[in-house]
């Protein structure tokens, strides 16, 4: 398959770290260092968290490729975040074996599309949006309809337009990925 160039990524590669350039395409918070993170962890009394910084970072950990699906500890901690406390009968639990860690949203989006979209399927995607959400389904052989948000409507989605876009073979709604 041939995936068209993601123009926003090309722009970001060229300009996102250029001094004086206002990066209006950024989708992430600015990165911080471990030292800056430790400073943010200082409590209000002024007690420094630096003393406990070694508890945050395991300097003895080997830098290996790591587990394909993400470390068991990380998946277990994420599962705990998304599980009910178990205080009520029948409460939902998320199992760590149902969690896959990816290298960012791009990889996660690819996995979702590869799992859900086949040639001949139909995908509806809000537009404008991140190019991957409509380009990847097209490269997988799906027909993509763009649900265009319009300036004259204040970019408020028109639900009647969405109803017109949905077909019998609509499988994915691209803005929820």
Return all residues near 86 (Cβ < 8 A) that are at least 6 apart: 93
Q: Is pTM, for the whole model, over 0.85?
A: no
CA distances from 17 to 11, 26, 37, 61, 130 (A): 11, 11, 21, 30, 20
Rounded CA-CA distance 155/162 in Å is 14
Q: What percent of the chain has pLDDT over 90?
A: 35
| Tally of structural domains, the chain | 2
Show the tokens assigned to 137.
């389904």
Decide if 175 is inside a domain. Answer: yes
The verdict on 122 and 137 lying in the same domain is yes
Tens digit of each residue's pLDDT (9 = 90 or more) over 151-177: 999 999 999 999 999 999 999 876 554
- For 73-88, give the secondary structure using H, E and C: HHHHHHHHHCCCCCCC
Tens digit of each residue's pLDDT (9 = 90 or more) over 113-126: 999 999 999 999 99
Residue 125 structural domain: 108-177
The verdict on 131 and 170 lying in the same domain is yes
Tens digit of each residue's pLDDT (9 = 90 or more) over 83-114: 765 555 555 678 999 898 998 888 898 888 99
The verdict on 143 and 125 lying in the same domain is yes
């Amino acid at each position: 398959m041939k995936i068209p160039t993601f123009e926003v990524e090309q722009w970001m590669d060229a300009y996102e770290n250029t001094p004086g350039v206002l990066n209006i395409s950024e989708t992430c918070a600015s990165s911080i260092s471990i030292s800056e993170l430790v400073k943010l962890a200082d409590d209000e009394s002024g007690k420094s968290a630096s003393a406990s910084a070694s508890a945050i970072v395991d300097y003895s950990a080997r830098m290996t490729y790591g587990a394909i699906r993400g470390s068991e500890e990380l998946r277990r901690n994420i599962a705990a975040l998304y599980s009910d406390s178990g205080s009520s009968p029948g409460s939902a639990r998320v199992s760590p074996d149902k969690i896959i860690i990816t290298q960012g949203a791009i990889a996660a989006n690819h996995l979702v599309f590869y799992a859900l979209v086949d040639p001949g399927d139909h995908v509806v995607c809000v537009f404008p949006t991140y190019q991957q959400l409509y380009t990847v389904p097209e490269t997988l052989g799906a027909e993509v309809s763009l649900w265009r948000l319009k300036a004259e409507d204040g970019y408020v989605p028109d639900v009647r337009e969405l109803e017109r876009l949905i077909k019998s073979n609509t499988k994915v709604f691209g803005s929820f990925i």
